[in-house]
Amino acid sequence: MTEVSVTKDAVPAADDLVVLKNVNKHFGALHVLQDIDLTIARGEVVVVIGPSGSGKSTLCRAINRLETIESGTISIDGKPLPAEGKELARLRADVGMVFQSFNLFAHKTVLENVTLGQLKVRKADKKAAEEKARALLDRVGVTAQADKYPAQLSGGQQQRVAIARALAMDPKVMLFDEPTSALDPEMINEVLEVMQQLARDGMTMIVVTHEMGFARSAANRVVFMADGKIVEEAVPDQFFSNPRSDRAKDFLSKILHH
Amino acid sequence: MFDFLEGYDLLGAFWVTVQLTVYSAIGSLIWGTLLAAMRVSPVPLMRGFGTAYVNVVRNIPLTVIIIFTSLGLYQTLSITLGAKDVTDINFRLAVLGLIAYTAAFVCEAVRSGINTVPVGQAEAARAIGLSFSQVLGLIVLPQAFRSVVGPLANVLIALTKNTTVAAAIGVAEAAYLMKEMIENEAELLLISAVFAFGFVCLTLPTGLILGWVSKKVAVKR
């Protein structure tokens, strides 16, 4: 692999929401994040793609400190990520996260999943929380399932509930960690549609995904990672039609034409 | 045939057994859960304390612990746990000893339950901004308890039978009365059988009911 200098076509606006500077992390001997610099502007949709093990999930999880970092800084809305405790919890409430395996609270109903954070973190009153939860469940198209338990829902429905749960906190930014990778093919679109709508509504989103169609249609910028480094950053059209790095060309040639 | 039972307060003795069991069960459930929370906490000092407590206490014979509460706490350190007469003092000391001992087993059962909860549950809870104690209290422990009703039933049954050790410091529960009757009466086999039956009457429904509860509350994934 030839080393390519990181190219930046999409110049971030002045209003930076998430800023990563010189971030490093190891898993044992593996240098999973290497000098990561990344800035995401308010309202921007950034899609992170790359081969397995390239560190893109770790990057996503580091932004709300589900993974700790060893050096460098991550700041959200101008504030550096606190180490632990109440400060960190407060920051996490402002950062929505959607997981590959949904992670809905298994012992709570769909409605309770969406109201829990509002009640316990935002201290909203029960009636307001339920109203908001039902509105959000309506928005993601699972109103009818409100009183069921997660195990009774399909994967696609569970993931849409998970999105509603994150939205209930009125997050400043939403992180998606491979949100469709655990879904049956026919359920992927229902989740992507919700995400597309969210992008159109102006939500700031960082999406780790293998869905190139989503990257093309919804992203403002594509970040290509390989071996713990950001190899290329570009607007989607440019990246997919004319990738500059050999690593990205190689990756795209393997996933696109078949 | 059961004439030998006359003059003995059999029900009263078993009532003391039930009281010992109930107080100790509640106490050890609370203390054991706190210990389990310590053992999974991010604070190394708490983890260390939890681990040390469990490994020391569960390896000491219960008889030694119960006798220590009487000889060590009461007679040496004059700890009476707020009771006035000697019957109450012994009862409370026995409950204390049983709680201290049983909590180690409750802790390990709860901890194994915590290990059945997928790590993603806690991550999702942290991701919406819940604090460590909220993550544990609202998400992890409720699911953990549902998966360990069976093992906790075992601990409760063992506790019920372990209350007989309280006889060693003069608590007038079932085994204490049995010893008294064996000294005074001739029907040794029958006396043993009566007390064995009494304990089965206490523990068998416990096992059956909690077995049913265990199925009822299991978390579907």
Three-state secondary structure along B45-97? HHHHHHHHHHHHHCCCCHHHHHHHHHHHHHHHCCCCCCCCCHHHHHHHHHHHH
Q: How far is A2 from chain B (nearest CA, A)?
A: 37
Q: What is the dihedral of CA A226, A230, A234, A240, to 10 degrees?
A: 0
Q: Which of the pair, B73 or B20, is modelled with greater confidence?
A: B20
pLDDT, residue A160, reads 94
Contact call for A104 and B124, based on CB within 8 A = yes
Residue A256 has pLDDT above 80, yes or no: no
pTM of the complete model: 0.84
Per-residue model confidence as pLDDT tens digits over B188-203? 899 999 999 999 999 9
Portion of chain A with pLDDT greater than 70, in percent: 93
Work out the average pLDDT over B84-100.
Answer: 93
**Candidates B123, B134, B219; nearest CB to A103:** B123
CATH superfamily of B11-217: MetI-like (1.10.3720.10)
pLDDT, residue A192, reads 93
Q: Is B82 on the interface with A (CB under 8 A)?
A: no
Contact call for A166 and B127, based on CB within 8 A = yes
Highest mean pLDDT, choosing among A81-90, A248-257, B196-205: B196-205
pLDDT, residue A82, reads 85
pLDDT, residue A123, reads 92
Closest residue on chain A to B133 (Cα)? A85
Q: How far is B139 from chain A (nearest CA, A)?
A: 7
CA A74 to centroid of chain Cα atoms = 15
**Candidates A66, A117, A149; nearest CB to B220:** A149
Q: How far is A69 from chain B (nearest CA, A)?
A: 17
**Candidates A94, A107, A117; nearest CB to B143:** A107
pLDDT, residue A14, reads 59
Work out the average pLDDT over B123-140.
Answer: 94
Residue B219 has pLDDT above 90, yes or no: no
Contact call for A169 and B221, based on CB within 8 A = no
Contact call for A107 and B142, based on CB within 8 A = yes
Per-residue model confidence as pLDDT tens digits over A125-139? 999 999 999 999 999
Q: Is B221 on the interface with A (CB under 8 A)?
A: yes
A49 backbone dihedrals φ, ψ, rounded to 5°: -125, 170
Task: Write out chain B residues lying below 8 Å of A93, CB-based.
Answer: 128-129
Portion of chain A with pLDDT greater than 90, in percent: 76
Q: How far is A87 from chain B (nearest CA, A)?
A: 10
Work out the average pLDDT over A197-209.
Answer: 93
Per-residue model confidence as pLDDT tens digits over B147-175? 999 999 999 999 999 999 999 998 999 99
Contacts of A48 (CB under 8 A, 6+ apart): A56, A59, A60, A206, A207, A208, A209, A222, A223, A224, A225
